[in-house]
Amino acid sequence: MDVGWIFILNEEKHMSKQTGGEIFEYNEDSIKSLDWKEHIRLRPGMYIGKLGDGSSQDDGIYVLLKEVMDNCIDEHMMGHGKQIDLTLNGREVTIRDFGRGIPLGKLVDVVSKINTGAKYDSKVFQKSVGLNGVGTKAVNALSEYFKVTAYRDGKERSAEFKRGELIKDHKEVSSKESNGTLVEFIPDENIFRNFHYISDYIDKQLWNYCFLNAGLIINYNGRKFISKNGLLDLLHRYANQDELRYPVIHLKGEDIEVALSHNNEYGEDIYSFVNGQYTTQGGTHVVAFREAIVKTVRDFFKKDYDTSDIRQSIVAAIAVRVQEPVFESQTKTKLGSQYISEGGPSMKNFMLDFFSKELDNYLHKNPSAAEAMKKRIEQSERERKELAGIKKLANERAKKANLHNKKLRDCRIHLNDEPSAKAKQEYIAKQLQSTIFITEGDSASGSITKSREVETQAVFSLRGKPLNSYGLTKKVVYENEEFNLLQHALNIEEGNDELRYNNIIIATDADVDGLHIRLLLMTFFLQFFPDLVRDGHIYILETPLFRVRSKQETIYCYSEQEKQAAVKKIGAKAEITRFKGLGEISPDEFKNFIGVDMRKTPVILESQIHIQQLLEYFMGKNTQERQDFIVSNLRVEVDSVDELN
């Protein structure tokens, strides 16, 4: 797509009287031309996926950070620069690499002209991520301030921009700085409303860069990130070592690195990467990996194990290098390439050749690991057969219920829909916005249902408190009608690949019962579908606790501190309403809390956390340890309004 100039229909619709009414008149005046920055700002979703406020790990502000970091990583991969310095100061991001530096004469073009860069020449960047010449330009256009400085062979040059518009082009001067590039930017708050950075998301992003580039040093706000053992370190960090059934198998080859093991959890946990890009939605390399490991395991044990039994409880990381990779969107979260390189092997054959040799050799040389793998696969086989009867019956019930599922008010666009070729990037951006609210009772779901955005927001209504699933087997997911309907609504019975909603938001009242329901739902997901939490799909909806208003102004407050500030602003005559439940908020008001300014808190699972120990502590028997924690952390809410008046 050439987006140097984009021609679109003018938003000022030209109408003419015809028989029966008005129709759209299509003529020269209907055409409007946009330059590159105007189109990026008008259709940002086409370039960076969704916008968001930073509460989701795939929100736009992290994509901006990634686009700049990818260029630094590409330089490192080509053997130029072993260190990257990243500073986050409030809203301002500063990134400095020590590569070759952008050629000074092309500095402005590289960050402001679409389809400009060295990465179109495969000889210069053989296996790069940023191949479409858009990334840094999108950062420039979507930043209220953007500055780039190139240091090259004792000289430097800078250029400053405001929302993509060049405001100052500095002359070339001499420099004592080491070669490299410095980028400073502040995301535009007009586009990323109320945005904030979550450090855990940035940490994960930086660790992934280090795991994929052993020896690379990233300095971030005074902290040092470095990995010596690549993907082996990744699994040691993200997987709980106590839960692994055998030591991590670490395999390397030309253009491929793999680390894998099995654990005791339900589901499948795969971290996949292409040319250093974290492909959260997988792609052809993940499909090929799954097929290769199944065939290799079957051949090694000379037994026709069921595919699901081999893949159940696997935890793996896989990284491949692909020449000129084809991704399914600008955000590069899903690989579409069928071949490793032009004229090279197919992804399927490449992966199968590697595993049939390397994994087979490893299992022959390490019989204890092979035996542990065999036992885990056969355990999954027994569990699957035990579930078969109840699963069939429950699925038949769920199928009937889904035809007229009163619990689910569905939306039109889903994460697993196949986008049409027309306006594909915009459709993908809407898929990332797909959301399901899990609510308690009819009153809460009624308010959300009436005020939701029907295109991308669905509602699932619970009937009272769900079952405490801690310590239970997956059999309960099928025996419990509500759990079974929920897993079918989400479409996660066979894994997350066909997940229907990108955002799963728990929307409960902010009282004791509501908080208890939150815990019960989080227990359900952590117990049976932990990948949903790890992959950043689960959130808690934050709704206002108070409404403070006068005849002239209304302020919604999410905490006691915000309430006090609102009362102080409005004055003594402020009317204060305490919302006790979601059902008390009218649909007209509720739409403000689930729209563009929605506040949601991500459920983040820290690395090395032991899920079963965590659940036992919070959801198990009422231990003395938990009682002591509650007593020592009690807080008394004091209404300070009177003191302010």
Dump pLDDT digits (tens) for 81-91. 999 999 999 99
Tell me the average pLDDT of the chain. 85
For 370-382, the pLDDT digits (tens) are 999 999 999 999 9
Closest CA to 162 of 187, 136, 181, 183: 187
Q: What is the pLDDT of residue 454?
A: 93
- Name 538's bridge partners: 504
Task: Clarify whether residues 194 and 269 are in a common domain.
Answer: no
Q: What is the pLDDT of residue 534?
A: 87
pLDDT-based confidence at residue 459 (cuts at 50, 70, 90)? very high
* Structure-model confidence comparison of residues 612 and 538, the more confident one: 538
* CATH code, domain with 345: 3.30.230.10
Name the 3-class secondary structure at 537: coil
Average pLDDT over every residue of 517-537 = 90
Would residue 12 count as lying in a domain?
A: no
Task: Clarify whether residues 79 and 130 are in a common domain.
Answer: yes
Q: Which domain holds residue 596?
A: 405-543+581-609
Task: Clarify whether residues 363 and 251 are in a common domain.
Answer: yes
Strand-strand pairing, 92-97 and 223-225: unpaired
Would residue 640 count as lying in a domain?
A: no
Q: Are 335 and 274 in contact (CB under 8 A)?
A: yes
pLDDT-based confidence at residue 31 (cuts at 50, 70, 90)? low
Task: Clarify whether residues 61 and 202 are in a common domain.
Answer: yes
Last residue of a domain, one of 225, 257, 289: 225
Average pLDDT over every residue of 488-508 = 90
* Structure-model confidence comparison of residues 386 and 131, the more confident one: 386
Would residue 619 count as lying in a domain?
A: no
Q: How many CB atoms lie within 10 A of CB 2?
A: 8
**Cβ neighbours of residue 591 closer than 8 Å, sequence gap 6 or more:** 451, 452
Would residue 633 count as lying in a domain?
A: no
Would residue 184 count as lying in a domain?
A: yes
Task: Clarify whether residues 255 and 347 are in a common domain.
Answer: yes
Task: Clarify whether residues 322 and 221 are in a common domain.
Answer: no
Task: Clarify whether residues 430 and 350 are in a common domain.
Answer: no
pLDDT-based confidence at residue 396 (cuts at 50, 70, 90)? confident
Would residue 615 count as lying in a domain?
A: no
Question: Cα separation of 549 and 552, whole Å?
Answer: 8
Task: Clarify whether residues 493 and 359 are in a common domain.
Answer: no
Q: Are 123 and 114 in contact (CB under 8 A)?
A: no
Would residue 396 count as lying in a domain?
A: no
CA 228 to mean position of chain CA atoms: 26
Task: Clarify whether residues 130 and 221 are in a common domain.
Answer: yes
Q: What is the pLDDT of residue 120?
A: 42
Task: Clarify whether residues 124 and 162 are in a common domain.
Answer: yes
* CATH code, domain with 463: 3.40.50.670
Task: Clarify whether residues 220 and 235 are in a common domain.
Answer: no
Last residue of a domain, one of 383, 415, 433: 383
Would residue 631 count as lying in a domain?
A: no
Q: How many CB atoms lie within 10 A of CB 443?
A: 15
Last residue of a domain, one of 191, 225, 259: 225
pTM of the model: 0.80
Q: What is the DSSP letter of 421?
A: S
* CATH code, domain with 93: 3.30.565.10
Domain count, the chain: 3
When mean pLDDT is compared across 23-27, 239-243, 552-556, the lowest value belongs to 23-27
Task: Clarify whether residues 69 and 108 are in a common domain.
Answer: yes
Q: Which residue has the tokens 């799909």?
A: 537
Does residue 9 register a pLDDT over 60? no
Strand-strand pairing, 435-440 and 457-462: parallel
Does residue 172 register a pLDDT over 70? yes
